[in-house]
Amino acid sequence: MKVVVDNNLCEANAVCMRLAPDIFKVDDNDVLHIMQEHLPETDRARVGEAVRRCPRQALSIVED
Ligand code: SF4
């Protein structure tokens, strides 16, 4: 499982970073970075919550 961000949609409001700061990081230039490329199944619930709560619908889960 991977999570990807569409940086054209992301407005860097850090909702996802507050939910999972080890996975999502908004830098000083207001760019969101995904900190872990491959995520274990145990992260699916909280990553799914971040996807659902992103107000810009900028996040997606991709199966790999
Ligand atoms: S919650 Fe969505 S809009 Fe906000 S920083 Fe994360 S990806 Fe970007």
| Prediction pTM value | 0.95
Ligand 1 atom nearest the C-alpha of 9 is: 3
Sign of CA pseudo-dihedral 32, 7, 9, 38: negative
Which residue's CA is the closest to the ligand 1 atom numbered 8?
A: 10
What structural domains does the chain harbor? 2-62 (3.30.70.20)
Query: Which of 35, 56, 57, 61, when mutated, tests ligand 1's pocket best, judged by the most ligand atoms within 8 Å of its CB?
Result: 56
| pLDDT at 49 (0 to 100) | 98
Which residue's CA is the closest to the ligand 1 atom numbered 2?
A: 54
* 29 vs 42: CA distance, rounded Å: 30
Question: pLDDT by residue for the chain (64 residues), tens digit each?
Answer: 999 999 999 999 999 999 999 999 999 999 999 999 899 999 999 999 999 999 999 999 999 8
Sign of CA pseudo-dihedral 7, 24, 52, 55: negative
Which residue's CA is the closest to the ligand 1 atom numbered 3?
A: 10
| pLDDT at 64 (0 to 100) | 85
How much distance in Å is there from the Cα of 28 to the middle of ligand 1? Answer: 14
